Amino acid sequence: MYSQGLIGADGRTEETQDFLDRFQRRIDAEEKIEPMDAMPAGYRKTLVRQIGQHAHSEIVGMLPEGNWITRAPSLRRKAALLAKVQDEGGHGLYLYAAAETLGVSREEMTEELHCGKAKYSSIFNYPTLSWADIGIIGWLVDGAAIMNQIPLCRCSYGPYARAMIRVCKEESFHQRQGYEICMALAKGTPAQREMLQDALNRWWWPVLMMFGPHDADSLHSDQSMAWKIKRFSNDELRQKFIDATVPQAEYLGLTFPDPEMRWNEEKGGWDHGPIDWDEFWRVVKGFGPMACDRIAARRKAWEDGAWVREAALAHAEKRRARKMAAE
């Protein structure tokens, strides 16, 4: 007998209640779901959406920092930044590969990014105006990413969880390189300290937005948590991030651009002022300050790289034909 099985914010699907219950029992027993396993259509769709967005974020996320590689202040800083940006390209590739196990091709995902259908993290729509921005991105953007991504290492979908283990190891290097830049600037001249404070002022609120809308406005959280794709809600992760970051900022002698930020004894965490959700949704809908540049840069890279893809395919085809002829 078929019932209308709820598949989350995406709508409903015709799957038997028995099938959905059996699947949920596997999730509740902390079994990993693997690519060839039966899974509800909504589970697959949610993962394709989230992993695809995540992969795009890594690839688009190379651009704001890539902007500073040629202007890094020393060879050591340049080498570290170059390695970090290359890691991000690698993360994008692991994630596209994880999404491909769900039956969507890399070309389809890329096309969706280029035509504006697929989202990527709002944070990468802001400009990197000074060298201090590179420190702040490593410290805070990667710091927020780690807070969000550590729980994804326990995601119920095996290929995503396994990809995240390696990603998180690399992210912690990224965060350290960023904090180290911030420490150097914090100990520098008054002009360097001012540049650092200015970068924090510009990035703080967009970083808090990275965690997504408040739980009450989150479309997917409840279902994603029931399926153990997400382990913590958006607000829980945002709070953990703020609580971990405040002492780090104090150590650097920085202040937050939030007059309402104060310690809440009762909850044992920091309260913050209201987030500008109108700005968040404007950016998410493609009207962020750098949105057009980011997509134009990705389209150009895809077009410029066409000959590489063609050459790689021709080479693979030649090797396959040679192997067949030898058999």
Q: Which residues bind ligand BYC (CB under 6 A)?
A: 49-50, 53-54, 57-58, 61, 88, 119, 121-122, 141-142, 145, 148, 209-213, 218-221, 224, 234, 284
Nearer to ligand BYC, 110 or 121 (CB): 121
| Cα gap 179→185, rounded to integer Å | 10
| Cα gap 24→31, rounded to integer Å | 10
Nearer to ligand BYC, 119 or 240 (CB): 119
| Cα gap 253→244, rounded to integer Å | 15
Nearer to ligand BYC, 213 or 273 (CB): 213
| Cα gap 305→309, rounded to integer Å | 7
Closest CA to 208 of 245, 183, 179: 245
| Cα gap 38→35, rounded to integer Å | 8
Nearer to ligand BYC, 33 or 145 (CB): 145
Q: Where are the beta strands (DSSP E) in the chain?
A: 3-6, 12-15, 262-264, 269-271
Nearer to ligand BYC, 19 or 275 (CB): 275
Instruction: Find the shortest distance in angstroms from Cβ 116 to ligand BYC.
Output: 12
Instruction: Find the shortest distance in angstroms from Cβ 323 to ligand BYC.
Output: 38
Question: Whose structure tokens read 């190379």?
Answer: 62
Instruction: Find the shortest distance in angstroms from Cβ 303 to ligand BYC.
Output: 22
Instruction: Find the shortest distance in angstroms from Cβ 175 to ligand BYC.
Output: 9
Instruction: Find the shortest distance in angstroms from Cβ 145 to ligand BYC.
Output: 3
Q: In the bound complex, which residue of the shown chain has the CB atom lying closest to ligand BYC?
A: 61
Q: How many CA atoms lie within 13 A of 319 on its CB side?
A: 6
